Amino acid sequence: MSATLEMRGICKRYGSVRANRHIDLTVPRGRIVGLLGENGSGKTTLMKVLFGMVRADAGTITFKGKELRDHTPRDAIAAGIGMIHQQFMLVDAMTVAENVMLGWARAGKWLRTGEISQLIRNASATYGLELEPDAVVGELPFGHRQRVEIVKAILRGADLLVLDEPTSNLSPPEVAGLLGVMRRLREEGRSVIFISHKLGEVLEICDGVIVLRDGEVTGSCQAGNATRAQLARMMIGRDIARASPPAEQTPGPELMNVQGISMRDRSGFERLHQVTFTLREGEILAVAGVDGNGQEELVEVLAGLKKQTQGRIMLGTRDITVASAKARLKAGLAYIPVDRVNTSLVQGMSIEDNLGLRDFELSPLRRGPWLDRRAFRQQAVLRIAQFGIHCGGPDLAAETLSGGNQQKIVVAREIGRRPRVLIAFQPTLGLDPGATQFVVDQILALRDAGGAVLYISAELEEVLMLGDRIGVLYNGRLSGIVRRHEADVTKIGLLMAGIEEAAA
Amino acid sequence: MLKVFASKPKGAEPVTAFDKAAPSAEYPWSLLSGPKVWRTVLPPALAVALAFAVTALPIAISGKNPVLAYWALLRGAVGSIDAIAFALNKSTPYVLAGVGVAMCFRSKVINIGSEGQIAVGGVAASWIALSFSYLPSPILIVTALLAAGVAGAVWAGIAAVIRLKRGVHEVLGTLMLNFVGTLFVSEVLHGPMGEIGAGFPQSPLFSQAAWLPSLFPGANLHMGIAVAVVAVFVCHLLLWHTPFGFRLRVLGSSRNAAAYAGVSFARAVLEVMLIAGALAGTAGGIEVLGVHYRLIQGFSQGFGFNAVAIALLAGLNPIAVLPAGLFFGFLEAGALSMQREMGVPSSLVFVIQGLTMVFVLCSMGIGLKQQRV
């Protein structure tokens, strides 16, 4: 069995971060290789190197016997590598056939829609894609759009397909369909690299598995003789430092009580299912989970930006189930969203306006019908000093600051008003170590001052270090809430991968 | 990550985080503060200069001396008290409608319906002026202008409600209502409000009680420009110094941020459209009560799109709408004189206007990242 792809000793550094360290990856012809790892473990970097989007510092890539060196994505496609990203590169208003022809030089100078349609039908029959060439892409269900990407890659002659977390947005029947397509690809002698967090799927479909952690290969095995627990340990298994001092002293009275929150999105898909938890004074409930398992929906429902389909939310003795975002804020609920660019900050507004973004209609920032600019300025001067925001002055636009200082504005605004409950959704995402430390310290300080915090993160490590209690969100269900000292890393890893019986 | 959590915070952050002196702005004066002035003034000034320079070319090609032509234009615009009064009167509707459009565009509500709003405002003011001519002059004028404002607000409000209830984009709604509005003027002039035997679709002359009074005795300058100046400053205060303006600015920057800040999209859209409509409607009322003293078919022709151009020229800053609107008004006034004296077609002014817009928008495109909200 000759190898389709051999990557040897791939190294890549970003500044002081070693994203890939001497990674070897072999994909034999007609095999599906699973690439497992947490966020930030180096999977994406490795695939970017393969596809020519990033140049490796060291290492060689041999594809179908030829060395790929200094190649561009265009070269990679020409050589026969097809990459299917999580975000599809499709034009919604065009048909399947038109999307396939788009940007494909071999489709010819003149549109030969009929011929291309026939090619699509043939491929569709061969691989069980069930694609209709004349269908408009925008009207296709999500799973079928993904198949349009697959057929694009196949028709362009891809012998190796890279699927980057292809199942994360699919419903269970769609996942089953995709796995079927992958089996057909394998039968036809094509190779697949399957990137996923989901252990069950990886074990079901893959021939071999490579596990990455912190940019290194921590394990590789034949899928046939691996177990979920083994893989989970390879992904996560390390000694967890217990850095943040836990607030074991006195869990105070209950501040927030969330009962049976469920939520369906517009297409009727259930994003949250019966989420129930309580938050006590002076504690952090940290929720782990792979992105896209309902985290965004949960925080937005709690903050009042989205409506739940059922359930009840109490803040102290007050029922805020139907309260507006503004009313919840007034009741003492602060919220740090994940998106700094478009949500938690208005990039073009001044720092002082951003510090008042959520309170501008309340005293002291508002005085009668006017905004009190002096109060804005006073608040800004105070917060800038309190939270050490590095800036040229409170009247500069937020966008002139670094990401870390931008996040300090958000933290200063949300924590500065001493909320009773803080909802923090990946507040350290994209921050450098210093800024991360700052945000974490502020959240710990809030807890020690008696605040309650719901901390949601895709980084298991953060969750284990910050949470006084720890839970896992998987597929819209919150489960396995335990005290930190009772937390079992393996169990949490399994819960994150959706294996419930192990945690029972 | 591991090390990050384990380590102590590295060195205390300096407490004096910014270098500039502490704010010294006193409260009442700070009401006049807005974005940095030069950022707003410099690009349009350069753009105007460029536009004149480029337009010199076709003037020269037609065998005329551009310097003399521009001299004639300048004299026509500011050469005498009457010329200035004429130009100020011309600028008034531009400033009023332009500042409303600027407020809308600020909040990313694309209202291009000033023309229709001006038209219905004119109809409403004319109806009051013709029907209640027995009222004392001040009451008649104020009532007529109020009616004009209400009519314009209703006209814009229709587009806003269609946008919010039916999801039809306001560009389409306001554009279509322009046609309805201007045809509505024709309709009333061919029917109930038309002057019998005039030979042109116009209403009878209003009674003198309804004419806008002069701002200065002896000058043919009506008080509309004063209304426009007041409107500009009120809009400036609204935008930069009230919660309402804050909402508009947040909404115009990001819908997600607006939701996060607790800003209601529907309420903000409705409010800003009503304000812009009222301003445009008032402009229509001023035009019929102060310039024509009657309703004339097509009196609002081209005002709507000039208002959009002026708002963009002003960088969507209410205060800057004043110079931008005056620029358009004086340019058009001067152009008529240039045509009279030099035989240079006044339509070349549209070339200058157009080129100014192109240059300004180019400079804004370059400086877009610096635009303050």
pLDDT at A249: 61
Give me the DSSP letters along B90-140.
HHHHHHHHHHHHHHHHHTT-----HHHHHHHHHHHHHHHHHH-TTS-HHHH
Whether the predicted pLDDT of B356 surpasses 90: no
pLDDT at A410: 95
* Better-scored residue on pLDDT, A452 or B362: A452
Chain B nearest C-alpha distance from A142 (Å): 24
CB contact under 8 A, A243 and B19: no
pLDDT-wise least confident of A107-116, A240-249, B201-210: A240-249
Q: Do B220 and B214 form a contact (C-beta atoms < 8 A)?
A: yes
User: What ipTM does this complex have?
Assistant: 0.80
Whether the predicted pLDDT of B25 surpasses 50: no
Chain B nearest C-alpha distance from A378 (Å): 9
Tokens of B143: 């009532």
Whether the predicted pLDDT of B310 surpasses 80: yes
Whether the predicted pLDDT of A106 surpasses 80: no
Tokens of B320: 């800057």
pLDDT at A10: 93
pLDDT band at B373 (very low <50, low <70, confident <90, very high): low
The DSSP letter of residue A140 is: S
Chain A nearest C-alpha distance from B164 (Å): 19
- For testing contact with chain B, the best of A376, A384, A437 (most B CBs within 10 A): A437
Q: Which residue of A has its CA nearest to B250?
A: A346
Q: What is the mean pLDDT of residues B309-327?
A: 91
Sheet of A191-196, strands arranged across: A81-84, A160-164, A191-196, A32-36, A208-213, A216-222
* Better-scored residue on pLDDT, A139 or B108: B108
B243 contacts in chain A (CB < 8 Å) = 360-361, 366, 369, 371
Percent of chain B residues topping a pLDDT of 90: 60
Q: Which residue of B has its CA nearest to A367?
A: B242
Q: What is the mean pLDDT of residues B45-71?
A: 88
Tokens of B6: 């384990």
pLDDT band at B16 (very low <50, low <70, confident <90, very high): very low
Q: Which residue of A has its CA nearest to B372?
A: A348
CB contact under 8 A, B262 and A358: yes
Chain B nearest C-alpha distance from A109 (Å): 35
pLDDT at A470: 92
Q: Which residue of A has its CA nearest to B11?
A: A434
B33 contacts in chain A (CB < 8 Å) = 373
Q: pTM of the entire structure?
A: 0.75
Kindly give the pairing relationship between strand A254-264 and strand A81-84: unpaired
- For testing contact with chain A, the best of B5, B8, B369, B371 (most A CBs within 10 A): B5
CB contact under 8 A, B19 and A392: yes
CB contact under 8 A, A371 and B19: no
Strand ranges (DSSP E) for A42-132? 58-63, 66-68, 81-84
> In terms of DSSP H, where are the helices of A305-420?
325-330, 351-355, 373-386, 403-416
Whether the predicted pLDDT of A489 surpasses 70: yes
> What is the widest separation between alpha-carbon atoms in chain A?
79
CB contact under 8 A, B246 and A326: no
Chain B nearest C-alpha distance from A210 (Å): 23
Whether the predicted pLDDT of A401 surpasses 90: no
- For testing contact with chain A, the best of B1, B36, B369 (most A CBs within 10 A): B1
Q: What is the mean pLDDT of residues B109-121?
A: 96
Instruction: Please write the tens of the pLDDT for every residue from A178-200.
Output: 999 999 999 989 999 999 877 77
Question: d(Cα B156, Cα B275) in Å, to the nearest integer?
Answer: 9
Instruction: Please write the tens of the pLDDT for every residue from B75-84.
Output: 989 988 899 9
* Better-scored residue on pLDDT, B121 or B362: B121
Give burial (CB, 10 Å; 0-12/13-18/19+) of A481.
middle
